[in-house]
Amino acid sequence: MLRLNVIYYGQPSPETDSRIIGVRPQYLVCNPPHGLYGEMNGYEGDMLMRDLDTYRANGIKMIGYLTGGYEGTMSGGGLGPEWYSLELNRKLVRNMALEDRVDGVFIDECSAFPDSESRKYLSALTTEAHQLGLTTWGNTGADEFDPWFLEKGGFDLMNSTEDWQGGELSRVQHQWGSRVSVTGFKRWYTPEDAFRLTVDAWNKGLACCYITSEEYVSLAPWFEEYARMLREHLSRKPRRNWYSRLFGSGRS
C-alpha cells in the first residue's frame, strides 16, 4: 500500500476505479451511498462511490465522508442545519458502518479549538464510530489545533493543513505527527511538485499527505506518475528509517 490519503468526491467510473486501485493508496476518503450525499439524494446520485468491495479486496481502507458543521452550528458549503445535526451524523456513522461497511469516517468542518459543547458533540460521534469498529478522522483544515482531538476526543487521525507547502510544522503537528495528515491543491501543480511536497511531509514525520491539481473532484492527470515517483523513492529508502520515525524503534 502507498501511504497516501486520496480524497475523491467526484463521479466514480470504471476508469476512476481502475486508476485508484492501480495506485493502491492506503486510504480513500469518499462519498459512500449511506454517507451525507447519499442521504441528501435518497441513496442515488452521480457522486456516490458504490463499488466498495473492489477497493476493500485490494486492501484500500474506505473512509466515508460527513460534515460536523462546526459542531452543528454552520457549514462552509452552504448546507442547511439539518445536514449536520448530531442526530443525523450519528445515523450516517451507523449506516456507513452497517450498510456500506466502511473502515472509518471522515468528519469534516471541525472547529480547531472546540469549546465544551462542541467537544460533547464531537465525542458523541467518535464514541459512536468506535463502538462500530470504525477509524475516526477529523478535519480542522488548520495548521494549529487543540491536542484534545488526539488526547481525549477520540480521534485516531486528524487532517490539518489543507494547503501544504512544506515549511515548519506547528506545535501540534510536530507533537502528534504520526497521527496527522495534510493535503494540498493548486491547479498548476505538477507531479514533481506533488512528489516533493509529499516526501517533505513524510520526512517531517507526518502520517499521510495527498497533493492534487483537481480540487478533489477529479484525479490529477499525473496521478499515476506521482505514485510511481513515490514508490521509487520508498524503494531506495531503508524501510526502518520512516517506520521508526512514525512508530518508534522500541517494538515489542
pLDDT value at 247 more than 50: no
Q: Domain ranges in the chain?
A: 2-247
The stretches of 86-167 forming alpha helices (DSSP H) are: 86-95, 116-131, 148-151
- Superfamily covering domain 2-247: Glycosidases (3.20.20.80)
Q: Which residue has the cell 526502518?
A: 240
Q: What are phi and psi of 251, to 5 degrees?
A: -95, 135
How far from the centroid of its chain's Cα atoms is residue 32's Cα? 14
Tens of pLDDT, residues 110-139: 999 999 999 999 999 999 999 999 999 999
Tens of pLDDT, residues 22-55: 999 999 999 999 999 999 999 998 899 999 999 9
Q: What proportion of the chain, given as a percentage, has pLDDT over 70?
A: 94
pLDDT at 239: 56
Give the chain's end-to-end CA distance (angstroms, integer): 23
The sign of the CA dihedral 60, 65, 68, 69 is positive
Tens of pLDDT, residues 59-93: 999 999 999 999 999 999 899 999 999 999 999 99
DSSP 3-state of 139: strand
pLDDT at 238: 64
Paired strand residues for 29 = 7, 63
pLDDT value at 219 more than 90: yes
pLDDT at 117: 98
Tens of pLDDT, residues 163-180: 999 999 999 999 999 999
pLDDT at 240: 52
Q: What are phi and psi of 43, to 5 degrees?
A: 65, 20
The C-alpha atoms of residue 175 and residue 200 are separated, in whole angstroms, by 17
* Under 8 Å between Cβ of 68 and 110: yes
C-alpha cell of residue 156: 485516531
Which residues have C-beta within 8 Å of that of residue 250, sequence separation ≥ 6? none
pTM of the model: 0.92
Tens of pLDDT, residues 2-25: 999 999 999 999 999 999 999 999
Please, what is the average pLDDT of the chain? 94
C-alpha cell of residue 184: 494540498
How many residues does the structure list for the chain?
252
The arrangement of strands across the sheet holding 104-108 comes to 2-7, 25-30, 61-67, 104-108, 135-139, 157-159, 180-185, 208-212
pLDDT value at 221 more than 80: yes
pLDDT at 77: 87
Using only the alpha carbons of the chain, give its radius of gyration.
17
Amino acid at residue number 185:
F
